Amino acid sequence: MPAKRLIFLGPPGSGKGTQAQRLAEQRGLVQLSSGDVLRRERQEGSPIGKQAARYMDAGTLVPDDVITGVMLAAVGRLPAGTGFILDGFPRTVPQAEALDRGLRDLALDIDAVVDFKLDDDEIIRRIEGRRVCTSCATTYNVSFLPPKEDGRCDKCGGELFQRPDDRREVIVTRLATYRAQTAPLIEYYSRRGRFHTVDSASGADAVQAAVARIVEAAGRG
């Protein structure tokens, strides 16, 4: 199968990151998560990381020019012919428009856009219970994917922590911001075709199967 270039949309906690990771491993694609890219910049203390930190801690979206520049640079560094999944980017119409221009400059196009749907109550439950290993970044959930030993990673024994942006008050702000700023993006991609919706309330395997069907058909015709 030719390499696919995909966009995964959906509110935080909708499962798009998990599905992107699964698909990347199965299909040999590169998962480019906006959150991971920005957190890496922040941890390294880069100027753009410091700039993004105050928005991330407040639960508001990082400005368009900051995130767009980071993500296009990440795409541009990929070897020729590499398929990728843009996970959590773009989030606004200006970002999408800038992405389109940047991809044209690289002679690339998007094969499919997948939007993961989930109601806010379930999203809050999922995110609030998330814990991440300080050493290897493995993710757990105290509600439905707990570690064997409370507070310790199964893989490396590292300490688990709750990210600052996973607190309930921040989650509520993130969701409100997402709904307000990203709703027009759904319309943008719906008008352009190659847009698909997946119900994230079903089990992870069912969601994975639905995504696989979309990817198989992507780019045909």
Active site positions, annotated: 16, 91, 130, 163, 174
Residues β-bridged to residue 101: none
* Cα angle 17, 166, 31; round to 5: 20
Q: SS in 3 state form for the chain?
A: CCCCEEEEECCCCCCHHHHHHHHHHHHCCEEEEHHHHHHHHHHCCCHHHHHHHHHHHHCCCCCHHHHHHHHHHHHHCCCCCCCEEEECCCCCHHHHHHHHHHHHHCCCCCCEEEEEECCHHHHHHHHHCEEEECCCCCEEECCCECCCECCECCCCCCEEECCHHHCHHHHHHHHHHHHHHHHHHHHHHHHHCCEEEEECCCCHHHHHHHHHHHHHHCCCC
* Residue at token pair 């030719």: 2
Closest-CA residue to 85 (of 66, 111, 61, 67): 111
